Amino acid sequence: MSSGTINRNQLFWASCLALLVTSLSFGIRAGILNRLGVEFHLNAAQLGTIAATAFWGFPLAVIIGGMIVDSIGMKRLLVLAFIFHLAGILLTVFANGFWSLFISTLLIGIANGTVEAACNPLVASLFPDNKTTKLNHFHLWFPGGIFIGTLLVFLLDKVGVSWQVQVGLMLIPTLIYGYLFSKLTFPVTERVAAGISTGEMYKSLLNPLFLFMILCMFGTAITELFTGQWIDVLLRNVTDNAILILTVTTGVMVIGRGLAEPVVHRLSPQGVLLISAILSAAGLYLLGHSSGNMIFFGALVFGMGVCYFWPTMIGFVAENLPKTGAVGLNLMGGAGMFAVSVYMMFMGGFYDRKLISKLPEGASLKEYADAAPGTEMANALTAAKTAAGPEIINATLTIPIILTIAFAGLYIYMRGRKKPELLKAVNA
């Protein structure tokens, strides 16, 4: 395939649009999660399971996609993503209870993972000499879509637009990216272009540095995505505008990723990860120990912290472990989402248990949840939620503290390590 037929900029912008759909699904679902709970009589554990479904649909798709992308090509993989997005969005709009929400969220999760499975190696192939920066620019559209999604939910709620219409709005960018990808010519992945064998790629996955980065990805993904997806549930009773905390956080992330080039080049990927972990811990501490407008300052600090986590983790692997290929990049994303799904399901049940512990002995959470507003039972549940939400955030604070120690070690290790040359065949 002649490289002259490949329109690098159009492919990059179509990739950004596909990621926008992925992130809109996160932002809109985070905004309507409470309402789904009320409308379909779902408890926190059920809501946690539904939200978690997107997170384990994602690793399923991103890992399988990473294994087959070299053989079937990135274009075919993105056509599959389009079909899954379309089906998932439509099924969500016409959902009538737990199982339809569960299946539709799973389909959207599979679509989201398939987008990342194709687009991470695509961006690395299109910009082999500037991977971490361009991956940050690409992943700008993840917080960008959450920012747009949460703002849409907030504004459309004010004017009484139904959640079904809000979800249906995702069809517009979905149809556009599906059309664009169907028309464009794609390159082969970087690993294929460089002539690295499949066996060598899989052998590279056993590199101790790669295994260390997988473990760290568990923590960075949980810190960013669990907090973002559950913020409205956890802090709704602490502030009247809990969903705007997510809007502030993601707004900071959009700006930060847009300015990634000077930051990454000045500090190095591992330096960026260390500072990110410190700021994430400080931000979570402020979110869990503040009230009123101080919560928004905590959201600002937290946004600065998690801003570079995901794309810089993937960029680090692309730059320092290039032989791991598309599978290496996608295992990182899959590991992160898998960790979030497990953590989210565990924390849903943990949150319910926290609420029960703050209610009178022998209380039924369902009875309290069904109590009429203003009654003694409803007020008791509100007080329990106000206390329990920050406790969940404080429990999660342990993760970025551990990451700070891990990334300090990585920073020291990388100072004495020579960076590998870019895959020569790609730049030839």
DSSP 13: H
Residue 426 lies in a domain: no
Residue 327 lies in a domain: yes
Residue 126 lies in a domain: yes
Tell me the residue range of the domain where 138 lies. 7-417
- % of residues, the chain, pLDDT over 70: 91
Structure tokens at 418: 């020579």
Buried b (16+ CB within 10 A) or exposed e, 79-108: ebbbebbbbbbebbbebeebeebbbbbbbb
pTM: 0.77
Residue 185 lies in a domain: yes
Burial status of residue 408 (CB atoms within 10 A of its CB: 0-12, 13-18, 19 or more): middle
pLDDT tens digits, residue range 183-197?
888 888 777 777 888
Residue 266 lies in a domain: yes
pLDDT tens digits, residue range 354-376?
778 777 777 776 777 767 777 77
Instruction: Tell me how many domains the chain contains.
Output: 1
What CATH number does the domain containing 169 carry? 1.20.1250.20
Residue 425 lies in a domain: no
Q: Half-sphere exposure of residue 71, counting CA atoms within 13 Å on the CB side?
A: 8
Residue 423 lies in a domain: no
Look up residue 96 and give its amino acid. N
DSSP 189: P
pLDDT for the residue numbered 216: 97
pLDDT tens digits, residue range 273-319?
999 999 999 998 988 887 777 888 888 898 899 999 999 999 899 88
Structure tokens at 78: 């993105």
pLDDT tens digits, residue range 33-92?
778 888 888 877 788 788 778 777 888 888 888 888 888 889 999 999 999 999 999 999
